[in-house]
Structure 1
């Protein structure tokens, strides 16, 4: 089920993974690592598709100085696995600079229905993708638009793009964090995510989320570049829709903004991901709270 993989990408891309890379405006005041105030951030996201609760996506990010390691785990099922079951893990590692994340490694492994399995591993060097390994290997579809070497320069993986690109010193809902274009490569597809400000809101505690506080809503435009088939209905839907959005919230003790809610139309209905809990260890700044 391709939609389950998209749910992980929405979270790991802001698109069901979704920023999913980012180019940031220069911020001289953040010359040091803007994320170093936290040593660990753990978050849980509830993922729904077409009215069905698929399960949770659990994410842990650990910072050691300028280095970061991220690991996500998801177990999705419909009717307790009778209709559908999917399990996957994803990971990313690299370093954080004042200009944004510099990934070194990205990996995705999943099992679908206990039958189809896949492992993807991608490495980076000198600001570009240097190697992609996919097991089992399949020959590219001749209808795919090929990915060129030049298109793999200056990109980020979905995990780094989704969670390490939005920064602001304003903890009260800064719409400027929506002003960015994110060049993403997920091991197969090269695409841009163009974020623009939509509106600022105040989130109230609900039955599915314990967060209360400011959030900014970004409109997300999906622009495919390579690694896809132009007649793919899912790609056409993502390209033509203006309904993809991500809600970003400030993380207590840091300059980070991370996804609170992601909305993405898919061929089978809307996909959503909402943070149900988030915890920060080692933070030294006391404002901006989830």
Structure 2
């Protein structure tokens, strides 16, 4: 349980680490982030974005620790740019938790996850009572890093920016992050109303799904992170210990 919780935390931290001033196309750009829970600093994350010859690579690293759990992880997502979209081809996450290391690997084909592996292997009882990861529920899904790199021009209106559904597949669960409207514009960042919607791989009666599905469970602010690309400037996620905040320095 603790290893899986650490994996989810590491994945979330790395996924939301695209938070910074604009990066130049065709160059490596490093960005640093602070991670806190209930206002208590618990770690940091770093991210780089590279774009060249119609392709992109997102890489990140995080090191977090709080109470009885913690860990560090490294993730990479790569793919191609086409028709104003980032289309992932490969996602890899490796992490080291309290008890043992683990990894997630996702390969994409024809706009959907085609193969995924998790280490250590998930026991058969893990799938009991969970909504199946059926092909129709995976169509169009993105890896956690790619999902939050949003192609949009600098002149995009706050309302248009905050009106989209980000389909995410973590290797364990499929969920949507639904952005529904701008509430504030400040220092170049746009606050969006955000909702988490479980799609597959989850248990309907899960306490974590119930908590994440609450209207106030998720807060998202977006800002430019590269030429023609927006990403999170700040994320708050409800946890049973208090809000987990990932914010650019």
Give TM class, smaller chain: 0.7 to 0.9
The answer to whether structure 1 residue 225 and structure 2 residue 211 are counterparts is: no
Deviation string 1:81-125 (CA, Å, 9 cap, x unpaired) is xx4431111110101223411000111111112x22211101001
Aligned to 1:102: 87
Larger radius of gyration: 1
Aligned to 2:114: 130
CA shift in 2, pair 1:251/1:118, >3 Å: closer
Q: Is contact 1:75–1:86 with CA below 8 Å preserved after alignment?
A: yes
Aligned to 2:137: 151
Q: Distance in 2 between matches of 1:125 and 1:142?
A: 27
Offset at residue 43 of structure 1 (A): 1.2
Q: Is contact 2:7–2:102 with CA below 8 Å preserved after alignment?
A: no
The answer to whether structure 1 residue 62 and structure 2 residue 50 are counterparts is: yes
SS in 2 for 1:257: strand
Q: Which residue among 116, 132, 135 is the counterpart of 2:100? A: 116
Aligned to 1:251: 225
Q: Which residue among 202, 205, 210 is the counterpart of 1:236? A: 210
Q: Is contact 2:105–2:117 with CA below 8 Å preserved after alignment?
A: yes
Aligned to 2:178: 194
CA shift in 2, pair 1:72/1:13, >3 Å: closer
TM-score normalised by the chain length of structure 2: 0.87
Q: Distance in 2 between matches of 1:234 and 1:133?
A: 23
TM-score normalised by the chain length of structure 1: 0.76
SS in 2 for 1:269: coil
Offset at residue 268 of structure 1 (A): 1.6
Q: Distance in 2 between matches of 1:91 and 1:251?
A: 17
Q: Which residue among 229, 240, 245 is the counterpart of 1:267? A: 240
Q: Is contact 1:76–1:86 with CA below 8 Å preserved after alignment?
A: yes
Q: Distance in 2 between matches of 1:112 and 1:275?
A: 24
Q: Is contact 2:158–2:182 with CA below 8 Å preserved after alignment?
A: no
Aligned to 1:287: none
Aligned to 1:85: 70
RMSD, aligned CA: 2.3
Gaps of 5+ in 2: none
Number of equivalent positions? 241
